[in-house]
Amino acid sequence: MTGSVTTLRDKYETIIVGAGIIGSSTAYYLTELGHRDLLIVEREVPCSGSTGRCIGGVRQQFSDELNIRIAMDSVRNMNHVQNDLAVDIQFLQTGYLLLAYTEREMEIFEKNIQLQRSMGLKVDLLTPSMLSNLFPSINTESVLGATFCPTDGQANPFLLVHFYLSRAMESGARLLKGQEVTSIESTAGRITGVRIGERDFIKCDNLINCAGPWARDVAAMAGISIPALPERHESLVTEKIAPLFKPMIVDYTREHGCYFQQKENGAVIGCFTPPEVVPGMNYGVSLDFLQEMSRRMIRLVPELATVSVVRQWSGHYTMTPDAKPIIGPESGLKGFCNVAAFCGHGLMQGPRVGELVAEHIVRGEFSLDLSPMSSSRFENGILTSEELLK
């Protein structure tokens, strides 16, 4: 997966900025639709942004209809890669288990389940005793109930991005690594091209901003302001152990909330939403997180008490005021499209979002109404958020 500036043409029909899950999925689906005059520019290497730092969870249990639809379609697309194309992306439908500790959480779960089931998603509502029978390693103390979706699960972001990019490149797309888009040029309200590094100007008709935590900076190069702000999230992974539990366990409470999952290789990976926002591009890690996350995991799965953590790291959720992504063309600048700010959902939504964006570039319209995710919602003031997990 290489590329050098010197061998580039002076024009590509479409340029994608960023080779994380969103840019790579978009590139793959564009080439699948026959749109091959495509350059992907990545400042570092694929997966060097948020994608390579995520914990690989794939969840369809949302409270918002559009989020559910996109996640269900993403699961369909990952299933296609894993099972129909027989490419191993470690997509495993090991489920997500959401725990409720309060009556309010139970009410929200029951409401969500109705919507999810009406859309064809299989989700079970579990009592504490059902929970203990199904997942004996989980501590059910104070748990009022849980929802379990067996078709949720996990995927390996590195394998998925590798699949998307290598297929796109086999079909003719170019990937330029280690090079940065430093400015964007336009004339008469239309994108004309980008500057790469300090010198080369490459013309294009379409520019797709898939720059993750840096999407706001890339949009600003085009004179567009988007409210997409990175926030640090820390994670850890344990040594490999014998199979202990399968689903991603999700606890929403402020005091002991966390989410963690056992991977196919036996390691347990997880994180929690920090109680205080750590804004900006900060890759620091903290002893507080290590101790607190360990305590929370052991509280939920006591057998983890003897297991060692082998690594911790941090990455970024790119947040918007309503914790939904920004997807779509910008009315004031023809040819410019933002596909950014996926909060904690980029891996689980990217495989469908890339397909939708590719359809938009090739056919001129989305096959799903994505207007609730357009940037104009911030001007209109029409903001609705997920009720529990962002």
Using rule CB under 6 A, residue 121 touches ligand FAD: no
List 345, 352, 360, 377, residue binding ligand FAD (CB under 6 A): 345
Distance CA 103, CA 284 (A): 37
Closest approach of ligand FAD to the CB of residue 210, in Å: 5
Q: Which residue of 15, 16, 22, 327 would you call a contact of ligand FAD, by CB under 6 A?
A: 22
Q: How many residues bind ligand FAD (CB under 6 A)?
A: 41
Please identify which residue in 15, 211, 219, 236 interacts with ligand FAD, judged by CB under 6 A.
Answer: 211
Q: Is residue 385 within 8 Å of 322, Cβ to Cβ? A: yes
Give DSSP secondary structure letters for 88-147. Answer: ----B---EEEEE-SHHHHHHHHHHHHHHHHTT---EEE-HHHHHHH-TTS--TT--EEE
Question: What residues between 266 and 325 interact with ligand FAD by CB under 6 A?
Answer: 271, 315-317
Residue 213, interface with ligand FAD (CB under 6 A)?
A: yes
Rounded to the nearest 5 percent, the helix, strand and coil shares of the chain are 35, 30, 40
Cα gap 200→212, rounded to integer Å: 23
- Establish if 51 lies at the interface with ligand FAD (CB under 6 A): yes
Mask of contacts with ligand FAD, 217-256, x by CB under 6 A?
A: -x--------------x-x---------------------
114: CB partners within 8 A, 6+ apart: none
Rank residues 140 and 322 by Cβ distance to ligand FAD and give the closer one.
322
Minimum CB distance to ligand FAD, residue 3 (Å): 12
Nearer residue to ligand FAD within complex by CB, 18 or 329: 18
CB atoms within 10 A of CB 79: 15
Do residues 62 and 68 lie in contact, with contact meaning Cβ atoms separated by under 8 Å? Answer: yes
- Cβ at position 378, least distance to ligand FAD in Å: 18
Figure out which of the listed residues 181, 207, 222, 229 binds ligand FAD, where binding follows CB under 6 A.
Answer: 181
Which three-class secondary structure state does DSSP give residue 60?
coil
User: Judged by CB under 6 A, does residue 99 bind ligand FAD?
Assistant: no
* Residue given tokens 């379609």 in the structure block: 73
CB count within 10 Å of CB 65 equals 13
As a whole number of angstroms, the distance between CA 35 and CA 355 comes to 12
d(CA 48, CA 119): 35
Q: Alpha carbon 163 to chain centroid distance?
A: 16
What's the gap between Cα 145 and its chain centre?
27
| Tokens read off for 229 | 């702000």
Piece of 122-130, 330-338, 343-351, 376-384 that binds ligand FAD (CB under 6 A): 343-351
Which range of residues in 5-13, 16-24, 114-122, 128-136 is near ligand FAD by CB under 6 A?
16-24
Using the contact rule CB under 6 A, the part of the chain among 2-10, 115-123, 344-352, 376-384 near ligand FAD is 344-352
Q: State the minimum distance, in angstroms, from the CB of residue 238 to ligand FAD.
A: 15
Residue 377's CB: how many other CB atoms inside 10 A?
A: 18
Whether the Cβ atoms of residue 24 and residue 115 lie closer than 8 Å to each other: no
Site track for ligand FAD across 136-165, x = CB under 6 A: ------------------------------
Determine the interface stretch with ligand FAD among 11-19, 88-96, 115-123, 126-134 (rule: CB under 6 A). 11-19
Q: Out of 35, 53, 246, 377, which residue is the one contacting ligand FAD (CB under 6 A)?
A: 53
What minimum distance in Å lies between the beta carbon of 272 and ligand FAD? 10
Interface ranges with ligand FAD (CB under 6 A) = 17-23, 41-44, 48-51, 53-57, 180-181, 210-214, 218, 233, 235, 271, 315-317, 340, 342, 344-348
